[in-house]
Amino acid sequence: MNLSLRATDQAVSYAIPEGAKYVWVTTKLKNEYFEIPAKKPKDRITIPDVPQFGVTELARYKFAVGGGTTKNGQKLFPLEVVSQDELTRRFQQAHQALWGGGELNPSEAFDELDKLIFCKLWDERKLRKQGEPYDFQVITEKPKDDSNEEKRKANEATTKNLFERLKSLYEEGRKKDPEVFKDNIRLSAAKARTVVSYLESIDLSETDLDSKGRAFETFMGSFFRGDFGQYFTPRPIVQFIVDALPITHESLVLDTSCGSGGFLLHALDKVRKQADEYFPGEAGVDGKKETARHKEHWHRFAEHNLYGIEINEQIARTAKMNMIIHDDGHTNVIATDGLLPVDDIQERTKNQGFKYNRFNFIITNPPFGSTVKQTEKTYMNQYRLATRDVDWLNPKSKAAQRPGQDTEILFIEQCWNYLTEGGYLAVVIPDGILTNSSLQYVRDEIEDRYRIVAVVSLPQTAFTNTGAGVKSSVLFLKKHTAKDTKRMRDTKQALKDNIRKQEKFEAHLLDIERGKKKAIQALNERPEFAGLSTKERKENPAYIEETQAIADDYGAQLDALRFRLAEIYEERRRKGLPDYDIFMAIAEDIGYDATGRYTKTNELELIGEELSRFILTIEEESA
């Protein structure tokens, strides 16, 4: 919480009778220091710290590289490494201070806090000599005298100068990486000072990577569940997917709907743990410094091999901030529509790393439930799954554009575009793609383009706590070679052509059509209808009922013919297409319940171990 004026006034009122010259007010997360002037004791002057014994003149700041003392003997402090819990609380309190007064809504406050955390990290990374002060701290300006006007001016100058330093830090970082934040800091100078007071003393750069990462994710997760639940994939699901895949420091990894960056961060964490295996004892734990070669192993992967696309500008910035907090990997996170053709993405973002047929792994949870319409997006005509193919059992059908298509279906095709041959896609999908009869064409397309590796069913409650109740599964796919895809499609088409020929499909269709025409002709020749005009027949209830009965009868014959040929096709398809094992599992307890509370059992851990071995076997067979 903010330090209230009432608390400060009360502290000063206690100090005056005691003749105290200095007051220190703290909430444990935030500190403020004041000097009580002798001439007007009820007035107070903001100072950076209380002076140590024997110091005649206070320094204007408190924190410097490595700490030390000033020429006047005032002690300076190095930045402090804090625990995960304390860092989480500081993030939360700083955020609350920004929106609590109603000047910003929680979403805007979250965005602005991201910017100031970015400034804090950038400030810590600047090259400084021992004893040199940090810019991200309150550096007080001294009043010229004890008058209220001069003290007011000095306080305003302190706030203004701090804000100017923050904007300078922000611009330095933004020039180096313009994709992180595209708009300016939109806080008032006073609000920015409040945030600085919560964060100025902590050392984000040196705080344990897992601790600061989890602190930010905990804070971010509590916020996202309230405002952006659709972008938040629970950690147990993310970890299961990443752990099951053979991702290494050489892998190129993409999330086409990256949200807050959870999949990318877990991929980074996996490579960091692999660095521990290659360079044991060099990770920098227990107070030791991480070695250069250990950091190079995973940091190069973070900088050059991790890619993310997020359509929402604010969420994309949060993903970048999340990556920066984890010591980078944000460089190739972009804000754009992941369904755009790759040429458009390169042109809009100037990032040439996004290329089709490039990535070894795509791990993603695309948005469910929304439909992209042909009339809204010009890129729809580039998607095969946005086109209705000719029905091989309906000669009158023609290929045509579908009016619209669900986003999750389009992303399955777009991920195929980005994958290299033999690359893996792990995607969270609604179960309807696997079960609805109307989506058989999607399953057929998946079968043509990918080897189906695994289907892992998630419980109904998997996404309940994020506001989504759709029953989902995780689908693991391995991209076929172009040769294999062509072979699959050619084999299927040959089967259909042979069945139509062997079963004399066209002749049966002709017989059904002739029979229908004869039945209609016989109906027209019946005495009660023979003398009627065409118009009178169409208006006659009995005639309408009879013609409908004929249509239903011959329609049923046509349906029976098509059903019989479809059954023949399915039987021959099973025998004629390549046969391989598919890993299937049902997870009922995945480590948390419908409210998001953690449970004692997580079946995904055991499933993930078995699936990892299964995928390793596939890789050995294809090597």
Distances (CA, A) of 310 to 225, 340, 416, 614: 18, 12, 18, 31
- Residues 520-545 have a mean pLDDT of 91
- Residues 55-77 have a mean pLDDT of 84
| Secondary structure element (H or E) that encloses residue 204, with its range | none
**Residue pointed to by tokens 């079960």:** 435
- How far out from the chain centre does Cα 500 lie? 47
Residue 70 has pLDDT above 50, yes or no: yes
Which pLDDT score, from 0 to 100, does residue 1 have? 36
- How far out from the chain centre does Cα 157 lie? 41
Residue 35 has pLDDT above 50, yes or no: yes
Q: Which of 429, 407, 426, 452 has its CA nearest to residue 255?
A: 426
**Separation of alpha carbons 54 and 43, rounded Å:** 24
Residue 229 has pLDDT above 50, yes or no: no
**Separation of alpha carbons 523 and 517, rounded Å:** 10
Question: Do residues 265 and 294 touch, judged by C-beta distance below 8 A?
Answer: no
Which pLDDT score, from 0 to 100, does residue 155 have? 87
pLDDT in tens, 401-448: 899 999 999 999 999 999 999 999 999 999 999 999 999 999 999 999
- Residues 224-253 have a mean pLDDT of 82
pTM: 0.82
pLDDT in tens, 114-143: 889 989 988 998 889 999 999 999 998 888
Q: What percent of the chain has pLDDT over 70?
A: 93
pLDDT in tens, 442-494: 999 999 999 999 999 999 988 877 667 789 999 999 999 999 999 999 999 99
Which pLDDT score, from 0 to 100, does residue 582 have? 96
Distances (CA, A) of 373 to 325, 348, 376, 378, 415: 38, 22, 5, 9, 20
**Separation of alpha carbons 522 and 514, rounded Å:** 12
Residue 610 has pLDDT above 90, yes or no: yes
Question: Do residues 358 and 350 touch, judged by C-beta distance below 8 A?
Answer: no
Which pLDDT score, from 0 to 100, does residue 505 have? 94
Which pLDDT score, from 0 to 100, does residue 498 have? 96
Which pLDDT score, from 0 to 100, does residue 2 have? 43
Joined together, the tokens standing for residue 288 give 């030791």
Task: Tell me the pairing of strands 306-310 and 333-335.
Answer: parallel
DSSP output for 432-499: HHHH-GGGHHHHHHHHHHEEEEEEEEPPTTTTGGGT----EEEEEEEEPPHHHHHHHHHHHHHHHHHH
Which pLDDT score, from 0 to 100, does residue 25 have? 80
Which pLDDT score, from 0 to 100, does residue 101 have? 67
pLDDT in tens, 285-320: 666 788 999 989 998 999 999 999 999 888 888 888
Which pLDDT score, from 0 to 100, does residue 613 have? 97
Q: Could you tell me the pLDDT band of residue 222, with boundaries at 50, 70 and 90? A: low
Lowest mean pLDDT among 4-13, 89-98, 252-261, 590-599: 4-13
Q: Could you tell me the pLDDT band of residue 355, with boundaries at 50, 70 and 90? A: very high
Distances (CA, A) of 180 to 175, 332, 339: 10, 10, 21
DSSP output for 500-521: HHHTTHHHHHHHHHHHHHHHHH
CB atoms within 10 A of CB 280: 9
**Separation of alpha carbons 316 and 185, rounded Å:** 17
**Residue pointed to by tokens 């895949």:** 245
Q: What rounded mean pLDDT belongs to the chain?
A: 87
Q: Could you tell me the pLDDT band of residue 614, with boundaries at 50, 70 and 90? A: very high
Residue 192 has pLDDT above 90, yes or no: yes
Residue 300 CB contacts under 8 Å (≥ 6 apart), including other chains: 249
CB atoms within 10 A of CB 214: 19
